[in-house]
A and B are shown apart, each in its own frame.
Chain A
Amino acid sequence: MSEEHKHYLKKQKIRKLVVRITQIGILILFFGLWELSAYLEWADPFITSSPSRVIKSIASLYTSGDLFVHIGATLWETVVSFLLSTVLGTAIAVALWWNRFLCEVTEPYLIVLNSLPKIALGPLIIIWVGAGKGAIITMALLICLIITVISALQGFQSVDRDKIDLLRSMGAGKGKIFLKLVLPANIPNILAILKINVGLSWVGTIMGEYLVSREGLGYLLVYGGQVFRLDLVMASTLILCVLATAMYLAVALSEKLARKFF
């Protein structure tokens, strides 16, 4: 390795470090100023809460045993709707890819359903599915499903025609074309959809919990707002940040691993 390259690598390393330090610095500054403003009563801590109050609030949730009940409820709903929408959405996309007639017939319906703000279906969902976990999952499912179908189908349809012809010339039927070509060629696309769905399933679950729930982080948010316990609202928001980021990173990591193979 040349001196020049060593120098270059060192500079890169320092740069990365500076970026990291600045990021952490901003975080500390933010929470510090927040705490300070509450402590010196620049702002009313009743309205703005403060980091120490948030921590206290989380601690009391923990000691009462409610913390993991709420986290568990929301996490379960999110993961179920995430998995369900991905599997179901991909399956529907496969069916539409398979049958062109079906695909053409459903196109306008997909567009309408995709444009509709799903929250509008809230009342219907509650009446049809009942005001429970089912309604929350249905809401989250609706939000993720249509976009999954549309994106997956688009990926399936954009597979190289030359390669399809190649397989046909080898005597492959639709099933083999799908398994040997369309599906593997779409693994990166499906993984990208997963990344979008992680975010959307959180949106769906929290929205669902706003509507009906008796437990979960969305419920805590609404409840905290109603009884004006801003500590609770901030605490829930913070927990949500951490969980959603963790889930996103997990999916992003599996995407990275899978990309090595496809």
Chain B
Amino acid sequence: MALVELRNISLTYHSRDGETEAIKDVSLSIEDKEFVAIVGPSGSGKTTLLKIMAGLIAPSGGEIVKAESTRVAYMPQRDGLFEWRSVMKNVLLAPEIAGGDIKKARAYAEELLEKYGLKEFSSKRPSELSGGMRQRAALIRTLVTKPKLMLLDEPFSALDFQTRLYVCDDVLRIIKAEEKTAVLVTHDINEAVSMADRVIVLTARPAGVKSEYTIGLDKSLPPLKRRELKNFSVYFKNIWMDMEAPNE
């Protein structure tokens, strides 16, 4: 059974200026331990779709099927670290709000920070971290609640090109090591093809599912290396043409 399933989800924003149909009849399912990338042009409704999956906005129509026990963590566009908190206190934000056993959470946070090379920065302010390290801290902040499903909204868009390449490797390595299911939305086809097991292509707004590709690249390679594989450009070209094509 799929971990999460969206059935005929649609969403229309209402505001004083009128209504915006952002999502139209999206059905998709995410399997356990799968890494799914959703690509679509800017303004197509990717963030909206992710917020619906995170339970932050109720859809106008359709339903989301998932087990009650499936814990979901959402990472908004931009890392969203709180500048007045140390890295450790940022990481502990979710346990603090949940109000559970903070000692246990702290121990786990320490373990994660240690494992992913941020231990010596745990009492530093986010402003003292590089872009890549900030992203890693934000990722650890979402991992600390031990979610099953991670929802990542354009996690690399704020980074410069070079940093982005190695942070891609970094994030994928961590997600695979922690055996998480992940949904990443992006407008960057390269990012999607090099990281994901499966790519879902959205149409321009209102977002609908245009096509779907199971990526058959060598998963033992890091994303940066996958970009050099021969088939990479084939996937890229197909997805690019799907995104260029007008909505039916």
- Chain A contact residues, CB within 8 Å of chain B: 160, 162-163, 165-172, 176, 180-181, 184-185, 187, 261-262
- Chain B contact residues, CB within 8 Å of chain A: 51, 54-56, 72-78, 80, 82-84, 93-94, 96-98, 145
In the complex, the 5 A-B pairs of residues with the closest C-beta atoms, listed nearest first: A169-B74, A162-B76, A170-B94, A262-B84, A172-B97
The one of A163, A171, A261 that contacts B76, using a Cβ cutoff of 8 Å: A163
Bound-complex Cα distance A242 to B181 (A) = 65
Partner of A170, one of B77, B82, B98: B98
Please indicate which of the listed interface residues B73, B80, B98, B145 has the most CB atoms of chain A within 10 Å of its own CB: B80
Chain B residues within 8 Å of A176, by CB: 97
Contacts of A169 in B (CB 8 A): 54-56, 72-74
CA distance A259 to B58 in the complex (A): 39
Separation of A90 and B99 alpha carbons in the complex (Å): 27
Closest B residue to A162 by beta carbon equals B76
- Distance of A168 Cα from B54 Cα, bound (Å): 10
Residues of B near A181 (CB, < 8 A) are 82
Q: Nearest chain-A residue to B153 (Cβ)? A: A162
**CA of A176 to CA of B97, assembled, Å:** 7
B126 to A: closest C-beta gap in Å? 12
Contact A165 B56 (CB under 8 A): yes
Contact A170 B80, beta carbon cutoff 8 Å = no
Question: Which residue of chain B has its CB nearest to the CB of A169?
Answer: B74
Q: How far is the CA of A167 from the CA of B98 in the complex (A)?
A: 10
* Residues in B whose Cβ lies below 8 Å from that of A160: 80
Determine if A180 and B77 form an interchain contact, defined as CB atoms under 8 angstroms apart: no
B76 engages A170 (CB within 8 Å)? no
Contact (A165, B74) CB under 8 Å given A170-B93, A171-B97: yes
Please, which residues of chain A bring their CB within 8 A of the CB of B94? Answer: 170
